[in-house]
Every structure is written in structure tokens, then in C-alpha cells.
Amino acid sequence: MGGAFDHILNWRLLPGSHAFPGPDGGTCINEAALVAAGLPYRAIRSSADCPPCFSRPLAAYALGLNDAMPDAERPRLMAFVLRLSGSADAAPVEAARTHHLTRETVRRLLPPVLDRAGLPAHAEACRAAVTLAEARAAARAAAWAAGSRAEASSRRGTWVHGARAAAAARAATFAAETEARTAADAAEASALFWPGAWAEAAAILDEALAIGRQAPTLAVEAARDRMAAARARPVAAA
């Protein structure tokens, strides 16, 4: 999903916050979005550090993925650099975005790791969840079952099975919370035993961005020029 933008914008996404982009253009996803939109630069350590024009749940989810993704996966987020500034909307819309992130995390990220942990019935319950309440209930049940399996595996000394169950329990515990950042944490836990989690998490972010107000269209050329200027600017001048 990143590909073309990664090349056109000539920017490198890195985990963590940064005082100012260096010559390699390294920043997190939200900091890159600031530069692309021509907004005053600031280090982003949480979604609360973003300007008011950024959707808080979308920024929190994007930042969580940014900090957790391996370097080879992080370029997937470049496709969202031009879509975050101006995405803020009314409270009901932001709630709908958070609910989408939570529900789809349960329905699409948990089942593969639960299957790998030997909990197919719980995986199917997560896939079948329709409402947010059903999804959270399925995640809570899966967390309990996976935790019990991890404990039993530890007693038996079956460490690989125990590690899979522990990862599933951690992912399900995070997914049961109605929070954008914990949905990203669930993606990180799922990816321990299912590499496809990162692509699915990026797809879920794309869908959440389509809910409610869309960010104003930013010309790729203008964004590229702003990002090139930021890369060339001396750090001492920041």
C-alpha cells in the first residue's frame, strides 16, 4: 500500500518521535503528515501532540502501527501521509472510527492467531461478530481461553504452543478495549505469529479513514517539495 508514495515523497518512516527530520527524512507517520501539509513541525509522542485538524483515533492507530512495524513493513504507512491532516471530525464520527478499528481488529486480526494457538472455535466467534458488543465479548472470551492454554502449556513445558497462546491472549486482551491505540497493540501481538497482520491492519486504517470527513486533497508535488525542503533544512534551525 505504501510503494508509490514511498518513492514519490522520498521520505523514510521511523519508529518514535523526532525533534526534526534529518537528511534521510526520518520521522514517524504523523510527523511526516505535518511536513506534507505544510504545518509547523513538532515531535509527536502521542496522538495528543497532533494538531486539532488530525483525527485523534486515526492518528493514535497510525502511530501505534508506525512504532510497532518492522522496518520492512513500515513503508505501508506512506500511503496515509497525505490523508491525516484535516481528517478530524465530530465526536460521533470519531467514535464510529474507533468502533471500526476495534470491531475489525477482532474480526480480522484475532482469528489467524487464535487458529495458530489451537482455538478454532474462538477464532470463528471473532470472525462472526457483527456488532461492537459481540466483538468485544468474543475477544474477552478468547483472551481467557488463550491465557488458560498458555498457562497449561507452560506447566507441560510445550514452549512453542505456550508462546502462541500467550501472543493470542495478549492480542485478544488489547482487542477487547475500545481504544484506537490498543487496537494497534493487538495488531503487534498478532503479528508475532501471523506476519499478514500488518497488511490487514493497514487495510483497516484505510477503511477507518473513509469514515466521515476526508482530508483535503494535497497535491503530491507540493507535498514532495515541502518534504524535500524539510530534509534540507539544518537541524539547528528547527
Digit-coded pLDDT (tens) for 17-60 = 777 776 666 788 999 899 888 888 888 889 999 999 999 999 99
Domain shared by 134 and 181, yes or no: yes
Domain shared by 114 and 197, yes or no: yes
Q: Are 123 and 171 in contact (CB under 8 A)?
A: no
Q: What is the pLDDT of residue 29?
A: 92
Domain shared by 207 and 109, yes or no: yes
Q: What is the pLDDT of residue 93?
A: 98
What residue numbers bound the domain in which 109 lies? 102-212
Q: Is the pLDDT of residue 204 over 50?
A: yes
Average pLDDT of span 146-155: 85
In the chain, the number of structural domains is: 2
Q: What is the pLDDT of residue 23?
A: 62
The string of DSSP codes covering 21-71 is --TT--B-HHHHHHHHHTPPP---SSGGGS-TTB-HHHHHHHHHHHHHS-T
Predicted confidence (pLDDT) per residue in 117-129, tens digit: 999 999 999 999 9
* Nearby residues of 103 by Cβ (< 8 Å), 6 or more positions away: 129, 131, 132, 135
Predicted confidence (pLDDT) per residue in 79-117, tens digit: 898 899 999 999 999 999 999 999 999 999 999 999 999
Domain shared by 207 and 236, yes or no: no
